[in-house]
Amino acid sequence: PSRTFHGNHRLLTAQIISHYESINQCKRELPEYFNFASDVLDEWARLEKEGSRAANPAFWWVSAEGEEVRWSFAELGWLSRKAANVLSGACGLQRGDRAMAVLPRVPEWWLLSVACMRAGIVFIPGTSQLTAKDISYRLEASGAKCFISSEALAPAAEPVLPGSHSLQSKLLVGRGSRAGWLSLRELL
């Protein structure tokens, strides 16, 4: 029995399962290099621009207070390229480096995860419930070079950040600022 999958009427569940089975049985060529940001998001933006694909939001977020953020595929691609440049430039990260993010699920969480994919940076998500001890352990175990947090969550992590041997930069997400932290909003 087949049904439509995620509103895409051309792709049926049976086709998806068949595709993955063929990959597992080595019957399909796998690309040597695959980057979700450039191979999927940018391609969908291109198809929308030329009219081959219906224009739909790539990202749509609504806060508990009713604040709404909606990005098209082109906007998400453009913003993720800018964010990747911030991570590579101001934060000094290179392909293979690790960035740890302790953020609530705000739009910047998804933006930075796509930016990390685009730049080849390993994105290490952390829940806002992590304690300072948890953060310290994860920083040391991962060798993260960048720590990303919000204005509300940064104070809980700040006492353990100086003890990290690999940490090179701290990036603050949100409208505020904090001494010793780079501001994503300003850098974008």
Read off the pTM. Answer: 0.81
Residue 23: per-residue pLDDT: 58
Selected residue with higher pLDDT from 173 and 27: 173
Amino acid at 62: V
* Phi, psi (deg, nearest 5) at residue 125: -80, 145
Fold annotation for 36-186: Rossmann fold (3.40.50)
Which two tokens mark 97?
């480096």
pLDDT tens digit string along 89-144? 999 999 999 999 999 989 999 999 999 999 999 999 999 999 999 999 999 999 99
Residue 16, pLDDT above cutoff 80: no
pLDDT tens digit string along 39-74? 889 999 999 999 888 888 999 999 999 999 999 999
Let me know the angle formed at the C-alpha of 42 by 40 and 43, rounded to the nearest 5 degrees. Answer: 60
Element (H, E) at 62: strand 59-62
* Phi, psi (deg, nearest 5) at residue 2: -110, 150
Nearest to 171 by CA among 77, 49, 85, 95: 85
Domain ranges of the chain: 36-186
* Phi, psi (deg, nearest 5) at residue 178: -150, 135
